[in-house]
Structure 1
Amino acid sequence: MATQHAYPKLNKTILALSPLALIINGLFSATAVADDKIEVIEIHADHLKDASLLGSSEQLLTELGVDFSAAGGVSSLPILNGMMGDRVKVLVDGADITAACANQMNPPLSYLSANQIKSLTVIAGISPVSAGGDNIAGVIHVNAIAPTFSDSTSLTWQAGSLAAQYRSVDEGVSLGASAQLASKTFSLSYQGAYSDAKSYQDGNGETVLDTLYRSQNHVLIAALKSDKQQLAIKLNHQHIPFQGFANQYMDMVDNTSVGLTTQYQRQTELGDFSAHLNWHKVSHEMGFFTDEKTGKMPMKTDAEDASYQLKFAHEFNNTSAITLGQEYYHYEIEDWWPPVAGSMMMGPNEYHNIHDGKRQRLAAFAQLDQQLNTAWSMSGGIRIEQVRTQAGLVQNYNSMPMTMPGMAMPMKSIDAKAAEQFNQQDRKQSDTLVDATIVTRYAFDNFKELQFGLARKNRAPNLYERYSWGQSAMATSMIGWYGDGNGYIGDIHLAPESAHTASITYAMAGDTSPWQWSTNLWYSAVNDYIDADVVGRFNRSNIADNKRHILKFTNVDAHLYGVRFDGSVQLHDSKNQGQITLKAKVNATRGERDDSNDPLYQIQPLQSELKLIQQQDNWQHAISWQWVDSKHRIDARRLENQTDSYHLVNIQSSVTWQQLSMTFAITNFLDTQYELPLGGVNIAEFKADTSQGYQQLRGQGRSLNVSMNYTF
Structure 2
Amino acid sequence: MAVYFSRLSHPFKTSILYSSVAMAMGLVSMPHAMADASELANIERLTVHGQTIANRNALGSAENLLKGQGVDFSEAGGVSALPILNGMMGDRIKVLVDGADITASCANQMNPPLSYISANQITIAEVIAGVSPVSAGGDNIAGVIKVSSLNPKFGESETIKWNSGDISTGYRSVSDALLLGAQATVASKNVSLSYQGAYEDANSYKDGNGDKVLDTLYRAQNHALTAAWRDDTQELAIKLTHQYIPFQGFPNQYMDMTDNKSYGALARYQLKLDDDGEFSAQLNWHGVKHEMGFFTPEKIGKMPMNTEGDDYSYQLHWRLPMGDNSTLLVGQEFYLYQLNDVWPAVPGTMMAPNDYININDGERRRAAIYGEWQQDMSTNWWLSAGIRYEYVTTNTGEVQAYSQTPMMGMPNMDAAAAQAFNAMDRKRDDNLIDATLLARYQLSTNQQLEFGLARKNRTPNLYERYSWGLGAMATKMIGWYGDGNGYVGNADLKPETAHTLSAAYKYNGDRWQASTTAWYTTVTDYVDAEVIGSFNSNTPTDKRNLLKFTNLDANLYGAKFNALYLFAETSGGKWQVAGNVNVTRGERDKGNEPLYQIKPLQTELALQHQLGQWENRLSWQWVANKDRIDDRRLENETDSYSLINLNSSMKWQDFSVSFAVNNLLNSDYELPLGGISIAEFKVDNSNGFNQIAGAGRSFELSASYAF
Deviates more, 1:636-645 or 1:261-270: 261-270
What's the offset of the Cα at 1:35? 14
Deviations 1:360-379 (A, max 9, x none): 00000000000000111101
The reply on whether 1:388 has 2:393 as its aligned counterpart is yes
Equivalent in 689, 692, 698 of residue 697 of structure 1: 692
1:2-81 aligned at under 5 Å gives the runs 16-17=21-22, 39-40=44-45, 47-49=52-54, 52-81=57-86
The reply on whether 1:324 has 2:320 as its aligned counterpart is no
What's the offset of the Cα at 1:261? 1.1
The reply on whether 1:204 has 2:203 as its aligned counterpart is no
Following the alignment from structure 1 to structure 2, what is the Cα–Cα distance between the partners of residues 621 and 709? 18
| SS of equivalent to 1:609 | strand
Amino acid aligned to 2:134:
V
Work out whether residues 368 and 390 of structure 2, in 8 Å CA contact, stay in contact via their aligned partners in 1: yes
2:470 maps to 471
Work out whether residues 21 and 122 of structure 1, in 8 Å CA contact, stay in contact via their aligned partners in 2: no
Gaps of 5+ in 2: 9-17, 28-36
2:309 maps to 303
Change (3 A) 1:375 1:315: same
What's the offset of the Cα at 1:544? 3.0
The reply on whether 1:602 has 2:587 as its aligned counterpart is no
Following the alignment from structure 1 to structure 2, what is the Cα–Cα distance between the partners of residues 36 and 257? 38
1:121-136 aligned at under 5 Å gives the runs 121-136=126-141
Following the alignment from structure 2 to structure 1, what is the Cα–Cα distance between the partners of residues 336 and 500? 28
The reply on whether 1:242 has 2:247 as its aligned counterpart is yes
Report how many residues are paired: 684
The reply on whether 1:534 has 2:539 as its aligned counterpart is no
Following the alignment from structure 1 to structure 2, what is the Cα–Cα distance between the partners of residues 62 and 256? 26
1:614 maps to 609
Work out whether residues 202 and 701 of structure 1, in 8 Å CA contact, stay in contact via their aligned partners in 2: yes
1:450 maps to 449
Equivalent in 565, 568, 571 of residue 572 of structure 1: 568
The reply on whether 1:267 has 2:284 as its aligned counterpart is no
Equivalent in 523, 528, 531 of residue 520 of structure 2: 523
| SS of equivalent to 1:63 | helix
2:88 maps to 83
Work out whether residues 21 and 438 of structure 2, in 8 Å CA contact, stay in contact via their aligned partners in 1: no
Following the alignment from structure 2 to structure 1, what is the Cα–Cα distance between the partners of residues 551 and 460? 10
Work out whether residues 87 and 584 of structure 2, in 8 Å CA contact, stay in contact via their aligned partners in 1: yes
Deviations 1:77-103 (A, max 9, x none): 000000001001000011000000000
Amino acid aligned to 2:499:
H
The reply on whether 1:659 has 2:650 as its aligned counterpart is no
| SS of equivalent to 1:565 | strand
Deviates more, 1:127-136 or 1:441-450: 441-450
| SS of equivalent to 1:444 | strand
2:34 maps to none
What's the offset of the Cα at 1:16? 4.2
Deviates more, 1:54-63 or 1:293-302: 54-63
Work out whether residues 19 and 520 of structure 1, in 8 Å CA contact, stay in contact via their aligned partners in 2: no
Change (3 A) 1:162 1:620: same
The reply on whether 1:189 has 2:159 as its aligned counterpart is no
| SS of equivalent to 2:680 | helix
Change (3 A) 1:207 1:189: same
Q: TM-score of the superposition, structure 1-length normalised?
A: 0.93
Work out whether residues 175 and 193 of structure 1, in 8 Å CA contact, stay in contact via their aligned partners in 2: yes
1:363-374 aligned at under 5 Å gives the runs 363-374=368-379
1:283-682 aligned at under 5 Å gives the runs 283-317=289-323, 319-343=325-349, 345-401=350-406, 404=408, 412-510=411-509, 513-539=510-536, 542-575=538-571, 577-682=572-677
| SS of equivalent to 1:316 | strand
What's the offset of the Cα at 1:14? 9.7
Work out whether residues 38 and 448 of structure 1, in 8 Å CA contact, stay in contact via their aligned partners in 2: no
Work out whether residues 307 and 330 of structure 1, in 8 Å CA contact, stay in contact via their aligned partners in 2: yes
Work out whether residues 197 and 222 of structure 2, in 8 Å CA contact, stay in contact via their aligned partners in 1: yes
Work out whether residues 21 and 123 of structure 1, in 8 Å CA contact, stay in contact via their aligned partners in 2: no
Deviates more, 1:48-57 or 1:588-597: 48-57
Amino acid aligned to 1:660:
F
| SS of equivalent to 2:681 | helix
Deviations 1:472-522 (A, max 9, x none): 110000000000000000000000000000000000103xx2001110000
Following the alignment from structure 1 to structure 2, what is the Cα–Cα distance between the partners of residues 393 and 37? 54
What's the offset of the Cα at 1:548? 0.2
Following the alignment from structure 2 to structure 1, what is the Cα–Cα distance between the partners of residues 137 and 41? 29
Deviations 1:174-217 (A, max 9, x none): 00111011100011111100000000000000000000000000
Change (3 A) 1:385 1:267: same
Deviations 1:282-309 (A, max 9, x none): 0000000000000000000011000000
| SS of equivalent to 1:48 | coil
The reply on whether 1:276 has 2:272 as its aligned counterpart is no
Change (3 A) 1:208 1:572: same
What's the offset of the Cα at 1:545? 2.1
Amino acid aligned to 1:442:
Y
Following the alignment from structure 1 to structure 2, what is the Cα–Cα distance between the partners of residues 114 and 35? 25
Following the alignment from structure 2 to structure 1, what is the Cα–Cα distance between the partners of residues 234 and 631? 56
The reply on whether 1:146 has 2:143 as its aligned counterpart is no
| SS of equivalent to 1:608 | strand
Work out whether residues 42 and 121 of structure 1, in 8 Å CA contact, stay in contact via their aligned partners in 2: no
Following the alignment from structure 2 to structure 1, what is the Cα–Cα distance between the partners of residues 40 and 562? 19
Amino acid aligned to 1:631:
K
| SS of equivalent to 2:174 | coil
Change (3 A) 1:641 1:21: farther
Deviations 1:288-337 (A, max 9, x none): 00000000000000110000000001011251000000000000000000
Work out whether residues 50 and 661 of structure 1, in 8 Å CA contact, stay in contact via their aligned partners in 2: no
Work out whether residues 634 and 640 of structure 1, in 8 Å CA contact, stay in contact via their aligned partners in 2: yes
Amino acid aligned to 1:630:
N
Following the alignment from structure 1 to structure 2, what is the Cα–Cα distance between the partners of residues 109 and 489? 26
| SS of equivalent to 2:65 | helix
Following the alignment from structure 2 to structure 1, what is the Cα–Cα distance between the partners of residues 433 and 414? 37
What's the offset of the Cα at 1:401? 4.3
Work out whether residues 21 and 450 of structure 2, in 8 Å CA contact, stay in contact via their aligned partners in 1: no
The reply on whether 1:219 has 2:224 as its aligned counterpart is yes
Following the alignment from structure 1 to structure 2, what is the Cα–Cα distance between the partners of residues 255 and 526? 34
Change (3 A) 1:291 1:251: same
Work out whether residues 390 and 433 of structure 2, in 8 Å CA contact, stay in contact via their aligned partners in 1: yes
2:173 maps to 168
Amino acid aligned to 1:664:
F
What's the offset of the Cα at 1:263? 1.0
Following the alignment from structure 1 to structure 2, what is the Cα–Cα distance between the partners of residues 168 and 480? 32
Change (3 A) 1:449 1:385: same
Work out whether residues 608 and 628 of structure 1, in 8 Å CA contact, stay in contact via their aligned partners in 2: yes
| SS of equivalent to 1:296 | coil
Following the alignment from structure 1 to structure 2, what is the Cα–Cα distance between the partners of residues 334 and 365? 31
Percent same amino acid among aligned pairs? 56
Following the alignment from structure 1 to structure 2, what is the Cα–Cα distance between the partners of residues 14 and 230? 29
Following the alignment from structure 1 to structure 2, what is the Cα–Cα distance between the partners of residues 131 and 144? 17
Amino acid aligned to 2:290:
H
> Displaced runs of 4+ in structure 1, greater than 4 A?
1-4, 13-16, 18-22, 32-38, 40-43
